[in-house]
Structure 1
């Protein structure tokens, strides 16, 4: 339980560090000028083994910034941002047609918190196993 609280605090601080400058810049812009030419997109993504984020300890966490240019600690930010844009967001990611996975149940949970195209996002999805997770967007959850 203590470890979960530590991870939650770490993720909250990371999200604040990533998303904080995005909100401050919009507030500082003059009322007559447009606040930005792009909608902010900055996410903190985590992967854990378990059935829910509440009970699983995150194994890895990365940041993904997609606007104005792909960046962050994600190993392939350009690919991940392109997949998210093409799909229309996290909820619309679909598995590849040519992927075959076993029916072994070893749950993997992924989360995403932050801002996607100007909208607040809090996403959690549990996959039956690592293979099924890898079938959903080859770049977004590949870290």
Structure 2
């Protein structure tokens, strides 16, 4: 009989848990509809790595950036980075145009940027490789997204 009671309690908890999927409770105890997606509408991991291939390169710096429901994460300036991404429509490529007339050497010391996650509900996986750290700085000068 003991086994039956345990299974009954487990079944009740499972059914009750399934009934609550899709419902969130506020601090006041009232129910609200949960988000339709399991992913945050805008949550990204940004990295700077050494090497031309992020699969085998060394990650030097990495941050998280969440833009919705509010700017947060380990990024040092999440508000500015989210605003910059929003103004670019989430297009990382437009954020890495030459912004400086800074001269750089032609040495080959590749640096790779990545942006991976979800932007406004759609999956994002972006990679760009630059010839050296000077070129990276020239392409991201003044921008907040990769200033970490």
TM-score range, shorter chain: 0.5 to 0.7
Structure 2 counterpart of 1:113? 116
Report the Cα distance in structure 1 between the residues aligned to 2:99 and 2:62, rounded to whole angstroms: 27
User: Residues 108, 76 of structure 1: CA spacing in aligned structure 2 closer, same or farther, 3 A cutoff?
Assistant: same
Of 68, 72, 95, which residue of structure 2 is paired with 1:93? 95
When the two structures are superposed, what TM-score results if normalisation uses the length of structure 2? 0.66
User: How many angstroms apart in 2 are the aligned matches of 1:99 and 1:133?
Assistant: 13
Aligned to 1:132: 135
The correspondence of residues 70-85 of structure 1 with structure 2, limited to 5 A, is 70-85=71-86
| More strand as a share of residues | 2
Task: Point out the structure with the larger helix share.
Answer: 1
Does the aligned pair in 2 maintain the 1:133–1:141 contact within 8 Å? no
1:104 equivalenced with 2:98 (yes/no): no
Structure 1 length-normalised TM: 0.68
Q: Distance in 1 between matches of 2:94 and 2:125?
A: 14
CA RMSD of aligned residues (A): 2.5
2:28 equivalent in structure 1 = none
Residue 97 (structure 1) shift: 3.6
Equivalent position of 1:63 in the other structure: 64
Per the alignment, residue 48 of structure 2 pairs with 47
Contact 2:47 2:114 in 1 (8 A): yes
* Structure 1: gaps of 5 or more residues: 1-26
Give 4+ residue runs of structure 1 displaced > 6 Å after superposition: none
Structure 1 pair 130–118 and aligned structure 2 pair: CA distance change class (3 A): same
Separation in 1 of the partners of 2:22 and 2:93?
32
